[in-house]
Amino acid sequence: MKTKKVMVIGLDCAAPELVFERWTDELPHLKRLIYSGVSGRLRSTDPPITVPAWASMVTSKDPGQLGFYGFRNRVRYGYGGNRIVDSTDLREPTVWDILGKHGLRSIVIGVPPSYPPKPIRGCLISCFLTPDRSYPHTFPAKLAKEIEREVGAYQFDVDNFRTHDVGSLLERIYEMTRIRFATARYLIQNKPWDFFMMVEMGTDRIHHAFWHYMDEQHVLYRSSPYKDAIREYYRFVDREIGQLLELVDDDTVVMVVSDHGAKRMDGGFCINEWLIRQGLLKLKKPVNQPTPLTPELVDWKQTRAWGYGGYYGRLCINVKGREPHGIVPRSRYEWLRNRIVRELRTMKDEKGNPFKTRVIKPERKYVVTRNIPPDLLIYFGDLYWRSVGSVGMGSLFVYENDTGPDGANHDYEGIFIAAKKGAPVRDEPRALNRLHLMDVAPTILREFGIPRRKGMQGKTIPIRLGPHPDIKKTRP
């Protein structure tokens, strides 16, 4: 009996307007999937950040349920020690964990957060969080040497993607992508599998490094030989996808997804400079040049709030009895938080226009808030502006990123494409609306005839494909 397979190709940060609107005709393999299946914009998590977004996609749980709210997480109610999230923080079962309990085998490559690697029924290569190949990065462990011998030096990410040496960076992005897809082809051909999932990080890195060369509306745009760098890279990735598709049969269900989109970055809003001007953050002494905010710079006994930089803003309140030197009584916590929300939402930009800032109270967004959420999540300027955590910037609005060159911010929506590989091509794509990335895991399970697990938030996306013929009848 022929066994159904599901293949998920993840393109970190792939932007809907580029895939569905601008370059569809230049991406023949993606176009064929779009016109033979279903597709649509895939709403990301809040925040739309790589690690929580992919984790939400493969568990169908929101960041509050997962207990991490970004790339770094507060690990205690102190003023430092934020920790990079890794696979040990992911306690909810992933879709491949569930499939494994039903006797199905998976190949998983680079899905965040999968470092350090955990055992699965199948094989796994860990994600971009892996320091380097000297660290354990595969399951089974012996797979690492096999990849090195049969394919070459696998790359998890590109070092220092915020650099002015974009020529070198572009070469390194191509090499990373080339080796990842070659590894995928090797595993597909040489390992047994029912479910395959990979995530390519190059789409994210090339957006951040080259968006301002492409987008004539960008504040940093200038004529450059790199104007078509992103477009050419998408065409390259499409060809790599085409080579993967040649390796699977016509009954294989193929999904192409991204965790969030991308948009131009107009600049950065200096969250801690703003808090200083609001009288909510007090430094021990003035800082007159751009300086990362570190705990030792702050007079905590006179500080009521501080913030973090990143593609979105995180604001923490210095609560009495919660933080080591907290001064905000719990009875005034909500009053202060509401004051900050009101001030942020009504803030004007440099020209006096509404800044369109969105502010989220975590406990109102998520089913639960495990671990330590920030007190507020903030999207500055409708995500056209990032959060700048440094102080001494001399302005609330800046046009260069304080952590290195970066031309793009994350956007709210990524892509979803699903088709049976051999399905006939129609004259028009079948577009779906109101898709959320938490829908992906229950949709994968449904393709194998497995019901969504209790606690999953996503719905199943109607791609109208049948049950798996070999599924075990047990339930998780």
pLDDT in tens, the chain (476 residues): 446 899 999 999 999 999 999 999 999 999 999 999 999 999 999 999 999 999 999 999 999 999 999 988 998 999 987 899 999 999 999 999 999 999 999 999 999 999 999 999 999 999 999 999 999 999 999 999 999 999 999 999 998 888 889 999 999 999 999 999 999 999 999 999 999 999 999 999 999 999 999 999 999 998 999 999 999 999 999 999 999 999 999 999 999 999 999 999 999 999 999 999 999 999 999 999 999 999 999 999 999 999 999 999 999 999 999 999 999 999 999 999 999 999 999 999 999 999 999 999 999 999 999 999 999 999 999 999 999 999 999 899 998 777 788 899 999 999 999 999 999 999 999 999 999 999 999 999 999 999 999 999 999 999 875 444 444 443 33
Position 467 scores a pLDDT of 47
Question: How far is the C-alpha of 147 from the C-alpha of 280, rounded, in Å?
Answer: 53
**Which residues fall within 8 angstroms of residue 73, CB to CB, at 6 or more apart?**
67, 82, 83, 84, 85, 89, 371, 372
Position 162 scores a pLDDT of 87
Position 470 scores a pLDDT of 46
Region for 383 from its dihedrals, namely left if φ exceeds 0, alpha if ψ lies in -120 to 50, beta otherwise = left
DSSP 384-410: TEEEE--B--SSSEESS-TTS---EEE
β-bridge partners, 357: none
**Which residues fall within 8 angstroms of residue 437, CB to CB, at 6 or more apart?**
42, 43, 44, 45, 53, 56, 57, 257, 259, 414, 416, 458
- Pair of tokens at residue 1: 């009996």
- Pair of tokens at residue 246: 């040649």
Using N-to-C axis directions, what is the helix angle for 440-447 and 50-59, rounded to 10°?
A: 30
With beta carbons less than 8 A apart as the criterion, state whether 212 and 262 touch: no
Own/partner contacts of 399-405, CB < 8 Å, gap of 24 or more, are 399/219, 399/220, 399/266, 399/267, 399/268, 400/268, 401/162, 401/265, 401/268, 402/268, 402/290, 402/292, 402/309, 403/162, 403/309, 404/160, 404/162, 404/163, 405/162, 405/163, 405/164, 405/209
Question: How far is the C-alpha of 309 from the C-alpha of 188, rounded, in Å?
Answer: 40
CA distances to 200, 232, 293 from 179, in Å: 11, 18, 38
Rounded to an integer, what is the distance from CA 192 to the centroid of its chain?
A: 28
Rg of the chain taking only CA atoms, in angstroms: 23
Question: How far is the C-alpha of 269 from the C-alpha of 73, rounded, in Å?
Answer: 21
Kindly report the number of other CB atoms within 10 A of residue 296's CB atom: 9
Q: In 3D, which of 472, 421, 405, 465 has the Cα closest to residue 29?
A: 421
Position 465 scores a pLDDT of 53
Position 428 scores a pLDDT of 92
Q: Are strands 313-317 and 305-308 parallel, antiparallel or unpaired?
A: antiparallel
**Which residues fall within 8 angstroms of residue 284, CB to CB, at 6 or more apart?**
296, 297, 298, 299
User: Residue 162 carries which DSSP code?
Assistant: S
Position 358 scores a pLDDT of 97
Position 403 scores a pLDDT of 77
